[in-house]
Chains A and B, each alone.
Chain A
Amino acid sequence: MCGICGCSQPNPNSTAHHHDHTHDHDHHDDHSHDHDHHNHDHHDHKHSSHEAERLIKVEQDILSKNNLYADQNRAFFRQRGILALNLVSSPGAGKTTLLVETIKMLKDQLAIAVIEGDQQTDHDAERIRATGVPALQINTGRACHLDAHGIGHALMELGIKPNSLLAIENVGNLVCPSAFDLGEAHKVVVLSVTEGDDKPLKYPDMFHAADIMLINKIDLLPYVDFDVERCIEFARQVNPNLQIIQLSATKGENFKVWTDWLTAQFPDHA
């Protein structure tokens, strides 16, 4: 049994479960309060126990459990010199193709492993395995994102080598995965030019959470109504520090800028 979470999977990490968390709490007078009234009566003593009601201060981040697992994953990566990237995008932006091409270019230089997240099927993991690198598929079922707990288990199953590049391809979704830290070094957001150039403004959480944005499928620019400059301007409004690379994963245009960025993250391999 997993000693961290009590689930029936093997323990992803031997570190004991702890509940420490810090409280950053600013109160502002302009809080507004919404009360959701349900159709039950708080004064209905027929249903209440005899114990008096009391107030308990909790002050706990709703994501605290996920963040604890993310910290454990991050420690796992740090101890082994693993660079973990969390690739996020809408469905169809080209994450898997980008990974396949990245692996083809770098696999002789770097140990690479991939965790694939999709609601169903292991088609993507099969595509990755065809390149000769290990890949594990996580099917999230009804969930719309990967979480740090699932990644912890995947790490144990994958048997990842020290000093590897670990690419985690998240579920295609520009909303939910932004909230869930997986322990990665960077979120990489992929936006393809067949989408709207205003996506950074429409889905600001993700572009705010990412460190690098890849504008993919630039070979299709002549055929689509996508204004690259406008897109970059919007993205930098949301995140002034965002690094941006324009490339085409299928045609190879500018692809070396991306792989150079990746290898630069591994000083020993560059």
Chain B
Amino acid sequence: MISPRLAWLLVALGALMLVLAPIDLTGIGIPYPGLKRYGTYIMTLWLVTAIAAMGVNLIVGYAGLETLAQAAFVGIGAYVTALMVKAGWPFGLAFLASGVAAFAVGIMLGFPALRVRKHYLAFVTLAFSVLAWLVFRNEQWLTGGVMGIGDISRPTLFGHTLRRHVDFYWFVLAITAVLTFALWWIIRSPWGRAFTALRENPIRAESLGVDVRLYTLLAFAIGSAYGGLAGSLYAPLVEFIDPNPFALGPSLLFMLMVVVGGAGRFAGPFVGAAVAVLLPEWLRFAEGFYLLIYAVLVMTMMAFCPTGIMGLAERLLPARRRPTAAATAPLLGEAKP
């Protein structure tokens, strides 16, 4: 464990680096040319993916439920935004509507979770994922079917259009920061404690007054809303959407990101999304072998460190000293009152 002060310092440093990532710093004597157009696009995609993965981390990592439907919620957000923006609505409203729509559908998907858990629940969400994908593909009058929806314009902020990749990147970065803070707040609040209780022992939690049904629905709804909000940013990022990125495969990838990053660890989704989005780019030198290398890396990771990369980092960092060490503590019966 690192101290909270050091953790904050690392977060601030990381945020600064992310802000400066697309800027050419050679002018001020730092040998960093800044990200080019494609690099900035990939970084934006990483942020959008991390938002959706944060939602999965809430559902799976903190509340101990299962979801194989996050890509469907990203799809809901993307289509709601695309349709609203094309109909002339402002992006801000479309963004909120995407979150609300995913939240509402997330509550509905939460109801089966009140009855089944573990892999049974995973299959329920898997079925929903297929259903949503069929709607995206077949309801041509609404979604454009396999032809998708094109020319999705980027938002305008204070009269300034975010057409340039770098402007949109900063916009997404700011939204990611807000959503990250919001989830951090939820996790560290009594709600977060209730979600953890849900994961660790729902029967005991219920006996302590925790409304397990309500918190289950809330976990699904909030986690899915994060998917919807990510989708709302994804549509203007790629400017064209079709059903493929919202199919079952990408949903499995979101689950993989959370597990590889470290389920139930706050930074896990960012690390997991980096593995899923950035690593393939870095492995491009291997050309046709990159998927093979990627698969072997993931298998090795899961076999030797099931707690994910963040879990591995926690193991490698020296344990923080505690003022009272358990090993030297007297047995309870011998303790003085």
A-B interaction = no
Contact surface of B with A, Cβ cutoff 8 Å: none
Contact surface of A with B, Cβ cutoff 8 Å: none
